[in-house]
């Protein structure tokens, strides 16, 4: 869901036009896809020179638009350029049958390489958090620090909400609706919360020449990939660690980072810090100011 903070900054919508290619990492190959992105520049340049840019990643069924307002604020407060990206099968990014954290991490690594960003800070919420953590463990040389919002580097089944969302979204498409109100009426059978429904329905588009609304997400691909979204590709913290700063922000009313997984986090990310924010799982939209403070304090301390 979109953050409500609005501050002035430069926003440049872009999409990287490169052909899919193979990314090699740790002995396996993955076809990467280009990531669509919005670039948010700080209003003034840093007197001490350019700072590492930030890549901001959304959660499942989200897009770069969800992080637009908070990205502008963070670009101003941190005096850094922020790339809010659309991960594969979301927003304006290309679709691909393979949808897991290893593949999404390779997309981000290719994005850093193709844009010649050098070393970056990563921020990700939910699915984006696990993607960011995978990049940090997989390619630590390109990651200055990482911020994971309400997700952890462990295997954990998704809540039943997400399969339910997919069923509702498929029913919307099958109904060939032409109005958002019609789609919302159907989705209300599957989700009581109006803000959550609005978040999901923000993915509806009307294709040229058609009166019908369809979801920009490939629902069949995401439906078959829900188990992957609960998994984490690295299982043994004795084999791989990220020995740079990491911040985990969790919602106090969310279950995604329970206390019992903190020892596992500490083994994968021995320099991690934990910050609790009064919210549910949708930390950034439910409590944007507390989220902003946590990010700014953490990154400013690392400069």
Q: What is the Cα–Cα distance from 156 to 256, expressed in whole angstroms?
A: 8
Tell me, yes or no, whether 77 lies in a domain. yes
Where is the domain boundary, 201, 224, 247? 224
- Enter the tokens of residue 250: 């969790």
CA dihedral 249, 251, 252, 254 (to 10 degrees): -130
Average pLDDT of span 229-253 = 96
**Nearest partner of 97 among 222, 203, 216, judged by Cα:** 222
> What pLDDT is recorded for position 50?
80
Q: What is the pLDDT of residues 91-114, one digit of tens each?
A: 999 999 999 999 999 999 999 999
Residue 4 counted as domain residue: no
Active site residues: 126, 281
Q: Both 31 and 15 in a single domain?
A: yes
Bridge partner list, 13: 38
Mean pLDDT on 247-270: 97
**How far apart are the C-alpha atoms of 244 and 181, rounded to whole Å?**
47
- Same domain, residue pair 203 and 269: no
Domain count, the chain: 2
Structure confidence at residue 46 (pLDDT): 67
Same domain? For 74 and 140 the reply is yes
Residue 29 has pLDDT above 50, yes or no: no
Question: Residue range 210-215: average pLDDT?
Answer: 94
Predicted pLDDT of residue 264: 97
Q: Is the pLDDT of residue 258 over 70?
A: yes
Mean pLDDT of the region 43-72 = 90
Query: How much of the chain exceeds pLDDT 90, in percent?
Result: 82
> Contact, 291 vs 70, CB < 8 A?
yes
DSSP 8-state symbol, 243: -
Q: pLDDT higher for 207 or 76?
A: 76
- The reply to whether 61 falls in a domain is yes
* Average pLDDT over every residue of 220-230: 94
Is there a single domain that holds both residue 19 and residue 167?
A: no
Q: Which 3 state secondary structure label does DSSP give 130?
A: helix
Query: Of 84, 82, 97, which Cα lies nearest the Cα of 30?
Result: 97
What token pair was written down for 83?
């790339």
Structure confidence at residue 27 as a pLDDT band (50, 70, 90): very low
Q: Are 85 and 111 in contact (CB under 8 A)?
A: yes
Are 63 and 180 in a shared domain? no
CA angle 90–93–95, rounded 5-degree value = 75
174 and 141 belong to one structural domain? no
Alpha-carbon gap, residue 74 to 54, rounded angstroms: 10
Cα distance between residue 301 and residue 296, in whole Å: 8
Residues 118 and 265 in one domain: yes
Same domain, 38 and 119: yes
Work out the angle at residue 278's Cα, subtended by the Cα atoms of residues 147 and 87, and round it to the nearest 5 degrees. Answer: 35
What is the token pair recorded at 279? 């919210």
Around Cβ 275, how many Cβ atoms within 10 Å? Answer: 18
Q: pLDDT over 70 for what percent of the chain?
A: 89
pLDDT of residue 159: 77
Residue that terminates a domain, selected from 190, 224, 258 = 224
The answer to whether 213 touches 204, Cβ cutoff 8 Å, is yes
Average confidence score pLDDT of the chain? 89
- How many C-beta atoms surround the C-beta of residue 290 within 10 A? 18
Provide the pLDDT for residue 3.
35
Asked if residue 1 is part of any domain, the answer here is no
Domain end, chosen from 205, 224, 243, is at: 224
Q: Flag whether 5 is in a domain.
A: no
What pLDDT, on a 0 to 100 scale, did the predictor assign at position 219? 96
Judge contact between 38 and 12, C-beta under 8 A: yes
Residue 66, in any domain of the structure: yes
Residue 129 sits in a domain whose CATH number is 3.40.50.1820
SS3 208: coil
The pLDDT of residue 24: 47
Q: What is the pLDDT of residue 4?
A: 31
User: In the prediction, which pLDDT does 18 show?
Assistant: 38
Report the first-to-last Cα separation within the chain, whole angstroms: 30
290 and 212 co-located in one domain? no
**In 126-233, where does DSSP find H-type helix?**
127-138, 161-174, 180-187, 194-201, 219-224, 226-230
Give the mean model confidence (pLDDT) for residues 66-88.
97
3 located within any domain: no
**Is 192 in the same domain as 241?**
no
SS3 231: coil
Q: Are residues 82 and 191 in the same domain?
A: no
**40 band by pLDDT with thresholds 50, 70 and 90:** very high
pLDDT classification of 9: cutoffs 50, 70, 90: very low
Same domain, 97 and 140: yes
Residue 84 lies in a domain: yes
The pLDDT of residue 20: 46
How far, in Å, CA of 239 to CA of 261, rounded?
18
- 118: pLDDT confidence band, cut at 50, 70 and 90? very high
- pLDDT on residue 16: 37
Residue 211 domain boundaries: 161-224
């Amino acid at each position: 869901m979109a953050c409500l903070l609005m501050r002035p900054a430069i926003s440049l919508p872009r999409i990287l036009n490169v052909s899919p290619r193979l990314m090699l990492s740790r002995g396996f190959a993955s076809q990467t896809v280009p990531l669509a992105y919005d670039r948010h520049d700080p209003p003034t340049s840093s007197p001490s020179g350019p700072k590492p840019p930030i890549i901001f990643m959304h959660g499942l069924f989200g897009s770069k638009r969800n992080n637009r307002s908070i990205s502008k604020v963070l670009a101003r407060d941190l005096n850094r350029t922020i790339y809010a990206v659309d991960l594969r099968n979301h927003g304006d990014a290309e679709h691909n049958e393979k949808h897991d954290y290893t593949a999404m991490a390779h997309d981000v690594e290719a994005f850093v390489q193709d844009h010649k960003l050098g070393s970056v800070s990563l921020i990700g919420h939910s699915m984006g958090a696990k993607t960011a953590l995978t990049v940090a463990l997989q390619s630590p040389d390109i990651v200055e620090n990482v911020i994971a919002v309400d997700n952890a580097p462990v295997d954990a089944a998704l809540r039943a909400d997400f399969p339910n969302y997919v069923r509702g979204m498929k029913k919307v498409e099958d109904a060939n609706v032409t109005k958002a109100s019609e789609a919302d009426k159907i989705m209300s059978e599957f989700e009581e919360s109006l803000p959550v429904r609005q978040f999901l329905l923000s993915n509806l588009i009307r294709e040229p020449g058609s009166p019908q609304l369809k979801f920009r997400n490939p629902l069949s691909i995401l439906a078959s990939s829900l188990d992957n979204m609960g998994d984490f590709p690295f299982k043994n913290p004795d084999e791989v660690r990220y020995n740079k700063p990491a911040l985990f922000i969790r919602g106090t009313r969310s279950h995604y980072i329970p206390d019992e997984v903190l020892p596992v986090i500490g083994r994968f990310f021995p320099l991690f810090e934990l910050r609790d924010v009064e919210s549910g799982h949708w930390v950034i939209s439910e409590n944007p100011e507390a989220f902003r403070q946590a990010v700014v304090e953490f990154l400013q301390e690392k400069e």
